[in-house]
Amino acid sequence: MTEALTVKNVTLGEGKPCICIPLTSSTKEALIKEAERYQQEGADIVEWRADMFEEVENHKAVEQVLTELAAALKGIPLIFTFRSHQEGGEKELSKADYASLNQFVIETELADLLDVEFYQGEETVKKLISAAHQRNTYIIISNHDFQKTPSKSEIVNRLNQADKLGGDVLKVAVMPKETDDVLELLTATNEMKKHTKKPMITMAMGPLGVISRLSGQVFGSVLTFGAGEKASAPGQIPVGELHHVLDVIDKSTAGK
């Protein structure tokens, strides 16, 4: 059974999956406008994809955006994510720069959750978890495979490793080439939910994987990404449509 994790006014792991909208603009002004819009539209959670920000290597500029985002979001939890190129992101930082950017963001206490990539290595991940936990910040440990879908046992293995490292939320995204791959991801999620109490976020990307972005309540994924102005990964559907489908599933599975 998943133990729910409450971040500000949002609970991950109870009933209907939360909807997270990614901020994908490249300038501060456009990011703040996006945040204001999603706040008015009632987003559950917002993710800042900082690898899409033109000044991401300038820590002061990052802090300024975080400060203004916190004001614009009016209490909506914020995930800070620097997605590296090899995991599907737009920029690449050295391992040292990746660690220092995330450490800096933790110290600002302006993000509620940080997405930390599993492949950055055990030492970095553990250091960031420990720093975050001293500041009431949660860590999502993520792993993306943009080329393929690993086997069910490999997906479970990656989620287990993220759990053992001490992540608060465990995330895996894969790329399906056939419907069997989507089933592999869903089966892995369903199986893992029997072995961990931590909230999980899993998805199969691209058009074939759309069903996995809708069915979290059934198989055990607590959050789903919906496209705002722009999708941050293939297969995300517009937030309005996502709300509608999640509501239908929630109503029809109530009482189970």
171: which residues sit within 8 A by CB, 6+ positions away? 115, 140, 141, 142, 143, 162, 200, 201, 202
Judged by beta carbon, residue 47 or residue 124, the one nearer ligand DQA is 47
* Phi-psi map region of 39: left, alpha, beta (phi>0 left; psi -120 to 50 alpha): alpha
**Integer Cα distance of 191 and 117 in angstroms:** 22
Judged by beta carbon, residue 194 or residue 204, the one nearer ligand DQA is 204
Query: Is 49 labelled as part of a ligand binding site?
Result: yes
Task: Using the rule CB under 6 A, give the single segment among 96-104, 215-223, 229-237, 243-251 that binds ligand DQA.
Answer: 229-237
For residue 180, what are its two tokens?
């069997």
Handedness of CA 4, 49, 118, 217 (dihedral sign): positive
DSSP line for 141-192: EEEEESS----HHHHHHHHHHHHHHT-SEEEEEE--SSHHHHHHHHHHHHHH
Judged by beta carbon, residue 202 or residue 254, the one nearer ligand DQA is 202
Query: Is 158 labelled as part of a ligand binding site?
Result: no
- Enumerate residues 17-46 that contact ligand DQA by CB under 6 A: 22
DSSP line for 214-234: H-HHHHT--EEE-BSSS-SST
Of 49, 152, 158, 198, the one binding ligand DQA (CB under 6 A) is 49
CB of 95 to ligand DQA, least distance (A): 19
Residue 217 interacts with ligand DQA (CB under 6 A): yes or no: no
Of 48, 80, 118, 225, the one binding ligand DQA (CB under 6 A) is 225
Judged by beta carbon, residue 118 or residue 252, the one nearer ligand DQA is 118
Query: Is 47 labelled as part of a ligand binding site?
Result: yes
Of 13, 69, 83, 198, the one binding ligand DQA (CB under 6 A) is 83
CB of 59 to ligand DQA, least distance (A): 21
* Site track for ligand DQA across 117-156, x = CB under 6 A: -------------------------x--------------
Q: Residue 173's Cα: distance from chain center in Å?
A: 10
CB of 176 to ligand DQA, least distance (A): 12
CA distances from 44 to 77, 99, 200, 226, 252 (A): 7, 27, 16, 11, 21
Judged by beta carbon, residue 124 or residue 236, the one nearer ligand DQA is 236
CB atoms within 10 A of CB 248: 11
Would you list which residues are annotated within the binding site? 47-49, 83, 213, 232, 236
Interface contacts to ligand DQA, rule CB under 6 A: 22, 47, 49, 81, 83, 88, 115, 142, 171, 173, 203, 205, 225, 232-233, 236
Annotated binding site for 3-dehydroquinate: 47-49, 83, 213, 232, 236
